[in-house]
Amino acid sequence: MLDLLILSIWLMLPAYIANPAAALLGGGSPIDMGKNFTDNKRILGDGKTIRGFVLGSLCGAIIGLIQIWLAPSIAPYLAAYISQGILLHASYMALFTMPVGALLGDMIKSFFKRRLGFERGAMMPVADQLDFVLGAWVLTYFLDGAWFMSNFNFAVILTIILITPVLHLATNFIGFKIGRKDVPW
């Protein structure tokens, strides 16, 4: 159980880091350049900035790179019941697709939030918590399907779907408390 939990967080870390890193380091020009969509509402809104996207992705990739370096020494202690090779098969492609996919997923969600009339920062349960998981998985699946399939088995996927909302809400609450987020979700 604990192995599965640690493994799931380990695999998702580059994607998990991207969001709070974007919140901490974001700001400046919004990706949609302040423009409205055909419904006269913002395309994405001020919560999606170029700096947040770039620096968030970069932080996720750097964490992933550190993980690839650490993996050979950590793998023997993890997930003995899965395959020993699981963490040793590194993917440099995933360093890119996990954080970038995460923030793309977050961005696509904002697009639909605006279309549905949610203001920037408004809570949208489930979508707010799993958007970046789905984005990371879809992009990774398409660009390094072999790595995705060898790491994300059913148990891992289920664990991630269950723990991500909890981790996400906890992170956002901390972000709110330290004044980096306007709302605690």
Residue numbers at the binding site for ligand CTP (CB under 6 A): 22-23, 26-27, 45, 47-49, 52-53, 103, 106, 110, 113, 120-122
Q: Smallest distance from the beta carbon of 131 to ligand CTP, in angstroms?
A: 8
Residue whose CB is less far from ligand CTP, 75 or 134: 134
Residue whose CB is less far from ligand CTP, 27 or 165: 27
Render the burial of 140-155: b for 16+ CB within 10 Å, e for the rest.
beebbeebbeebbeee
Residue whose CB is less far from ligand CTP, 45 or 135: 45
The answer to whether 34 and 64 have CB atoms below 8 angstroms apart is: no
Q: Smallest distance from the beta carbon of 82 to ligand CTP, in angstroms?
A: 32
Q: Smallest distance from the beta carbon of 38 to ligand CTP, in angstroms?
A: 18
